[in-house]
Chain A
Amino acid sequence: QKEVEQNSGPLSVPEGAIASLNCTYSDRGSQSFFWYRQYSGKSPELIMFIYSNGDKEDGRFTAQLNKASQYVSLLIRDSQPSDSATYLCAAGVSGYSTLTFGKGTMLLVSP
């Protein structure tokens, strides 16, 4: 069974620090990986996706993928209180249309 595991948190970081969110997946066939942000009472919104080993940067966000170790991470630089949310990791298998979601990690950024 495909599984995506995340620490539920909360992960607490001070404003301006780097927040590091991690995710592991069980299906070696997974090729697409997504990070979604979900504010309380809102729907998940895509932050970024990654499908190649290594780093992918988008503004303050950097996604890292290591297929050999089957883990994905999201780094948030210069964390802001507005980054406080639950971050969902998801994995997709090439040729398939569904994504497997983790249960999310709650991030709290204190001013």
Chain B
Amino acid sequence: DAGVIQSPRHEVTEMGQEVTLRCKPISGHDYLFWYRQTMMRGLELLIYFNNNVPIDDSGMPEDRFSAKMPNASFSTLKIQPSEPRDSAVYFCASSLEKGGGGTDTQYFGPGTRLTVL
């Protein structure tokens, strides 16, 4: 398996622009997670999906952020409008099923490094 795939790997944009990050989870995984990582705050869970349905978006910082999962093999995280404080590395991860015995192991994609000028 190719693992979790994310695109783009790097994104530089100007404040106010729309940014769309993309993720393809590992085939057969039922859960998809979007994280943001910064030096100050570490790895923060933004939202996660189960079988394409958003389960918990309480980590989404504000209404400028939205996420969709139209099918089992594709998800997007959109920021509109973007702001400099959104600059971070955004990771997508997927897992097979609920917790217990390591079956909740999350596998991370390579991340998207976002810079908002």
Contact = CB atoms under 8 A, between A and B. Distances in A.
Contacts of B48: 97-98
B99 A92 contact: yes
B99 A43 contact: no
Interface residues of B, number: 25
B95 to A, nearest CB: 7
Contacts of A96: 98-99, 104
Interface residues of A, number: 25
A99 interface: yes
Interface string B76-117: 000000000000000100010111111011111111000000
Contacts of A45: 108
Interface of B: 31, 33, 42-43, 45, 48, 50, 55-56, 91, 95, 97-102, 104-111
